[in-house]
Amino acid sequence: MNYCFDPKITDSAPVAKKAALRIVSPATGTVVPLSEADSPLYRSRILGEGVAIVLTRGEIYAPSQLVVTRVDVAKGAVFASTSKGLKLLFQLGQPEYHHHGERMQFHIKAGDKINARQCLVTCDPLWMKQQSLQPCLYFTLLNARQIAAIQCHSFSDIRALEEPLFTLFVNAK
């Protein structure tokens, strides 16, 4: 069974590609393909390749060492990059709505060098549901065009920092 919602994302390791980086899940919840996301911006992949994680817990962690490049409290977004140049976007809730950071606590600021497993943001998934918002983390790779393939390890329940979410592949040389 193939869960491809974009030619770069697959549920099995691609042939003739070299594994370059494994990314663990930054949150606990249920992984959903972007093709099934509530947000039309993410469904169309305008904001990058990745997945949505419907949160069952409100902690969002750094899956690896990161440098925070931007924090947008009003939209619930954290932009960061890895030492290998991968640009990541952690988007809490729907980007179409301004949350003004309500019920979100940001533990980082732009310019911070973050260790792997460090908590970036905490939120209240139950409050989000009560506001008729899906308690969701959109976790996307902003510069995925440079990656040959992305293997998504789970489209079901996943635990933060305990299970792999993606393996990124480059063309074998």
- CATH code of the domain containing 125: 2.70.70.10
Q: Given this model, what pLDDT does residue 52 score?
A: 93
For residue 166, being part of any structural domain is answered with no
Domains held by the chain: number:
1
For residue 103, being part of any structural domain is answered with yes
For residue 13, being part of any structural domain is answered with no
Q: What are the two backbone dihedrals, phi and then psi, of residue 132, each rounded to the nearest 5 degrees?
A: 65, 30
For residue 93, being part of any structural domain is answered with yes
For residue 172, being part of any structural domain is answered with no
Domain that holds residue 37: 31-146
For residue 85, being part of any structural domain is answered with yes
Q: Given this model, what pLDDT does residue 118 score?
A: 98
Residues in the chain: 173
CA distance linking residue 83 with residue 145, whole number of Å: 17
Q: Mean pLDDT per segment of 10 residues, for the chain of length 173 residues?
A: 47 78 95 89 86 95 97 93 93 77 91 97 91 89 85 91 91 68
Of 58, 61, 60, 78, the closest CA to residue 69 belongs to: 78
Q: Given this model, what pLDDT does residue 69 score?
A: 98
Residue type, 87: K
pTM of the model: 0.89
For residue 154, being part of any structural domain is answered with no
